[in-house]
Every structure is written in structure tokens, then in C-alpha cells.
A and B are shown apart, each in its own frame.
Chain A
Amino acid sequence: MNYNADEKGYYGEFGGAFIPEMLYPNTEELRQNYIQIMEEPSFKKEFDQLLKDYVGRPTPLYHAKRLSEKYNTKIYLKREDLCHTGAHKVNNTIGQILMAKKLGKTRIIAETGAGQHGVATATVCALMGIQCVVYMGEIDIARQAPNVARMKMLGAEVRPALSGSRTLKDATNEAIRDWINNPVDTHYIIGSVVGPHPYPDMVARFQSVISKEIKSQLKEKEGTENPDYVVACVGGGSNAAGAFYHYLDNPNVGIIAVEAAGKGIDSGESAATSVLGKVGIIHGSKTLLMQTPDGQITEPYSISAGLDYPGVGPMHAHLYRSGRGEFVSITDDDAMKAGLLLSKLEGIIPAIESSHALALLEHKTFKPDDIVVINLSGRGDKDLDTYINYFKL
């Protein structure tokens, strides 16, 4: 079976481009050019150089000894939390800003939920001196003030999304509407492996540097490129797509995607799309999404702002349906405990998104000689308030 996108952007039955005709020229321009541009030597050179000198890649693959001891298995952490801006998101924004330049675009738009992708986009726009508008739900603007300030310092304009539920999905709608209104000069930097083709594939390719590095780093440390398992959290699924990418076709490497169960799968406050979602269309992609029986898209919930997206990237929907990926959901409480545990055992405060991936260790028993790579997608600085409130620190 093929786990990558076909020419029309389908992963099995999922993906495609379900977009109004107004967006056809924009996405078609991108579709016709993205692979060719990414393969140009000059593009590759600049991308690799920026990832090295600006982002700080390669990020370490760290053998977490005390964590390994506790769970009686061999655990490596892929340290995406050490990327510039604090998470893996910047791998994609570096790639897309270079893409936008090659396409001759002079204005960038982006959506953001918690603000991480917005900050990563504002950062690369500052780096390149390109105008940047970030759409953010009015409710998220109120609860993520530090990231709003960061984006402003970086020179971006933050526009509130006032429609619908005024969170991430509505910020995405607003960004899409902006793109409809500015089809010629503007590039839309989507932050995850979601949206119409070619976005899921393009973003996965930019993030695939994660698994490319894991392979060579593991080879050096363990004499094999292949772990027994790769574990990553999934909201839209960009860090997971990057961590899984070069292992998709290797059945000896287990792929585990961790979703946010929120207050519990059946609580009505959850973001576990693989369990609660049905096939439908969201933001131009056919995928699994949380919706009413009538096909209205519903609001998900997670303590982690980066995981509460009502859909999931079409690659992940396909990994779930085909059985290639094992999907697990982790509650707020278990994620928070795992975040605190990593801080105490290894001296690393993880983003709450990444804490969901770490919490898997309490739910699944690995063999002592298993090599388990967990993608530590981001650092916990941005979540300090949530940790403080939760643990009464």
C-alpha cells in the first residue's frame, strides 16, 4: 500500500482539493510547481542552510536514560523543542517562505490557534522582509496574549477571526477568505498537513527532515536506522507527518499517533478525531472530522491548544483506516502528569502537545530491547500558565 499522496493529493480515500473555484488558480499554481521548486538545487541549498544556521538543525536525538529506566525500554527523544521559536513548526514556515519567494509572492497570510504557527510564520516573514498577516480566533487572542505580542514584535499584523466559534477553524476560514480576495500577490502558509492538495503533501515534505535526521542519528547511536516505534502527537498532524515520513513504507517500524482525548472520549470535550470523527470535508480536504450528524463542524476540546483541531490531516486518516498507524488517545490529566514527569526525570519541560506523546509510556508496555523514538515537538515555555494553574505551582 502507498502511504504518500498520489498526484491528485489522495491518501487512499482521503485528501483531494474540495475548494471553491475562486481558489482553483492559487492552489493549481502551487500544485504544478511545488515539487519542481523543492527539487531545484538552489532551493534545497537555501532551505538546508537556513535549517542549519537559523533554526539550529540537526536537532539532537537524545537517549533519555532515566525515562528509559522507569519504563524499562530504550527511549530516544527527538528534540524539536530546541528549534528556533520553540517547536517543529518553523521547518515548514522556512520551506514555505522560500516557496512563496520562488512563486513571486509579496504578501503572506497564515492561520494560528495557540499562536505557535503564527509566531513561526511572523519569524520567517521578518527574516525575509515580507508583509505578514496572521488570522487568529478572537477567543484565542484573549487567551494567548504572549504569542500575540511576539507576532507584533516580529512585525506581523494579527487579525481577529470574529466568525463562527472564533477559534482555530474560524481563523483558517478567514485566511482562506483572505486568499480568495487576494489571489495574485499572496501566499497562504498553512501550518499543518491539512487543507487542499498540495498542502498536506508539501508540509509533510518540509517536516520530513525530522525522520531523515532520526535515521542517520539512530544509525550512529544504535547501528540501525530503524527504531521499533516512532511516537508523535497529532492535532492536524504536522510533527507526526515529519517523524513518520521516512518510515511509512517500512512495516518493521511501528507508527503510533497520539490524539488528545481531552476530558475523556465520551465526555463531549475531546479532540480524538480518529475515534469521534466521520468522513467529511474540512478546509478543502476529505478526511476524518468531528461533526454533527447533519454535517456541521463541531468544536473540539483539549487542554493543549495545538491539538484541538476538529479534523486530522488526510495522511493520518489513511494511516488510521488502513491500520498502518496505531492511534491512541490521552486525556488532559495523563498528558499533564507526563509533562511533569519528563521535567523531573530529564530536566526538559515539554509543550503540552508533546506531553500527550510522552503519556503513551503509561499506556503501552514496550519490550526492554525496543527502541522507541518520541518526537518532542515543542518546548513548554508557552504552556507555563497552564502548568501553573493545573499543578498550583
Chain B
Amino acid sequence: MNRINQKLEEDKKILSIYFTAGYPKLNDTVKIIQDLEKNGVDLIEIGLPFSDPLADGPTIQKSSTAALKNGMHTELLFEQLKDIRKTVSIPLIIMGYFNPIFQYGVEAFCKRCQEIGIDGLILPDLPLDVYLKDYEAIFVKYGLVNVFLITPQTSDKRIKQIDNASNGFIYMVSSASTTGATTGFGEEQKTYFGRIAALNLNTPQIVGFGINNAETFDQATQTTAGAIIGSAFIKHITQFGIDTISDFIKTIR
């Protein structure tokens, strides 16, 4: 069984952390992963930086630009991660935009992921219909979970299609926004979380966008399986460095 599915069966709210590979320093990737696991994080999203991250707000944009400037690229990330399963057992997801993966070759990319022990992919600009038509078989062949996004604007009908196509969890974007844009949850989110809960989906949901402390983490996870923190974590390591990861995690739970 895939590590993501195993983790989702545990009786706890999942804390997932996103960071951009190659940031703050080119070779921080492995240490960040090890520290996150050590501090009780449940799932890690490793961001493969892209020149034009159009779903991301300023924090992740800047970290991506810096990572690319540091020299991060696809093959180097695989190289950094090649022995990662000797030291950690936490589920690992690569999150990135489709073009770099398309250039690497989707099958070659998925194969490398399996060899390394990557459990899933989040590719926000790979649309559902294209995935089903061209790539689902490849993801399945290499044992990778594909994670789709939904937003408050996504219709029930489409959510059900996405539910059917999902094999891990659904990434529930908390509001109509790019990453890092919102602070706190209001009535719109309450209604949205309630609507999704009432759909009784087969696939567990994990909430992302706008989670930056214990309060928003608790709000986001009341009716869902967990929550994802990205921009707030990147802000923390930008300000305080990567030796203080435990301080950040303590502010969440």
C-alpha cells in the first residue's frame, strides 16, 4: 500500500508541509525533509521550482526564483533524493507545474519517482481530462498517487468526477486565491467545508491555502483529514533559517 494511503488510515489529523526544493540553499532539501519527519509532520510536499508558477503568491514565487538561481533542476532534485528512503519513512509528494515534467518525459519522471520512493504528485496545471486520457495509466504503473485540487467555485458535479479519479486525497483549496494570500477563515469557508462534508466523498480531503497557525489548522481540519502549510513555513525558514523547524511546528500543534 502507498505510504499516503497508509497515513490517511491513521486516526489523526494530518499536518502536511510544503517547501521549495533548493531553497533557502541548494542542498537543504534532505535536511529539511529529515527535520520535518523528526518533528512529527505527517506528509511532505517537495516543490519542484518553476519559472512561471501562476497559482502561487509572492512567497512561493520568490522561493522558486531563488531556488532556480541557486541551481535547482529536476535531475539534481532526484540526485539529492536518491537515498532519502534510507533515512525517512514519511510519505513524500512532489508538487510542481507540468512543463518541467513534460520536458523530462512523464513516464521517465514517474519511473524515477518510484525508484526513489516518492509516493505521489501534485501538478496543478495538469487538468483532469488530460490526466485521464494520457497519463493515468502511467501514474498507476509506477504506484503514484495523483492529487487534484478543488476550490469553493468547483461544482458538486465536477467534485464527484475528481473524487472518482482520485486515489489518495483531494487538495481542498480553502478560498479563491493564490497561495499565501488569505489569513483566517470566514463564513465562506464554513459554508464550503460544510458543503464538501455533506458530499460524503470516497477520497479524504486535505485543506490548503491560508493555514498559518494552530487556529487555522484546527478550523481547517474539523471536517477534513488534514491541512497543508506552505507559504507560512517558507516565511519562517526565510526569517529564522532551517535549524528552527521545530519552533515552527510547535506553533501549529
Q: A24-B158, A164-B52, A283-B54 are in contact. Are A296 and B125 (CB under 8 A)?
A: no
Q: Which of A8, A19, A20, A296 contacts B50 (CB 8 A)?
A: A296
Interchain CA distance A41-B146 in the complex, whole Å: 45
Q: Tell me, in angstroms, the Cα distance from A294 to B124 when the chains sit together.
A: 18
CB pair B125–A284 under 8 Å, yes or no, is yes
CA distance A291 to B100 in the complex (A): 10
Q: How many residues of A contact B (CB 8 A)?
A: 37
Say which one of A175-183, A259-267, A323-331 lies at the interface with B: A175-183
Q: Closest CB-CB distance, A227 to chain B, in whole Å?
A: 38
Residue B178 interfacial (CB < 8 Å) = yes
Cβ of A73 within 8 Å of any chain B Cβ, yes or no, is no
Contact B153 A295 (CB under 8 A): no
- B99 contacts across to A, CB distance below 8 A: 280-282, 291, 295, 297
Say whether A169 faces chain B, with CB atoms less than 8 Å apart.
yes
Is B52's CB under 8 angstroms from A173's CB? yes
Q: With an 8 A cutoff between CB atoms, is B65 at the interface? A: yes
User: In chain B between 144 and 187, which residues have their CB closer than 8 angstroms to a CB of chain A?
Assistant: 148-151, 153-155, 158, 173, 176-178, 181
The answer to whether the Cβ of A146 comes within 8 Å of any Cβ in the partner chain is no
B124 touches which one: A17, A21, A181 (CB < 8 A)? Answer: A21
Instruction: Judge whether B181 and A181 touch: CB under 8 Å.
Output: yes
Q: Is there an interface contact between B125 and A281, defined as CB atoms closer than 8 Å?
A: yes
Residue from A17, A22, A177, A298 with most neighbouring chain B CB atoms (10 Å): A22
Across-interface contacts of B149 in A (CB, < 8 A): 20-22
Q: Which of B12-20, B55-63, B191-199, B237-245 contacts A (4 or more CB under 8 A)?
A: B55-63
Subset of 11 A-B contacts with CB under 8 Å:
A18-B125, A19-B125, A22-B153, A24-B153, A25-B151, A164-B65, A177-B57, A183-B153, A183-B176, A291-B99, A294-B103
Q: Contacts A22-B178, A170-B52, A295-B102 given; 19 further ones with Cβ under 8 A?
A: A17-B127, A18-B130, A20-B124, A21-B124, A21-B127, A21-B149, A21-B173, A25-B153, A164-B65, A177-B54, A181-B181, A183-B153, A183-B176, A184-B176, A281-B102, A294-B74, A295-B101, A296-B68, A297-B99
Beyond A164-B65, A295-B101, is A22–B125 a contact (Cβ under 8 Å)? no
Report yes or no: B104 in contact with A295, Cβ–Cβ below 8 A.
Answer: yes
Contacts of A17 in B (CB 8 A): 127
In the complex, the answer to whether B154 meets A24 with C-beta atoms within 8 Å is: yes
Interface size on B, as a range, is 35 or more
* CB neighbours of A150 from chain B (8 A): none
Nearest A residue to B175 via CB reads A181
Contact with B along A120-144 (1 / 0, CB 8 A): 0000000000000000000000000
Contacts of B153 in A (CB 8 A): 22, 24-25, 183-184
Flag if A291 contacts B103 (CB, 8 Å): yes
A180 and B130 contact, Cβ closer than 8 Å, known pairs A21-B148, A280-B102 = no
For chain B residues 105-134, which have a beta carbon within 8 Å of chain A? Answer: 124-127, 129-130
Measured in the bound complex, the distance between the Cα atoms of B99 and A298 in whole Å is 13
Checking A16, A22, A295 against B55 with a beta-carbon cut-off of 8 angstroms, the contacting residue is A22
Q: Is B98 an interface residue (CB 8 A)?
A: yes
What residues of chain B lie closer than 8 Å to A177, measured between beta carbons? 54-57, 178
Name the one of A21, A162, A163, A278 contacting B151, with C-beta atoms under 8 angstroms.
A21
User: Given A20-B149, A21-B154, do A297 and B51 touch, yes or no (CB 8 Å)?
Assistant: yes
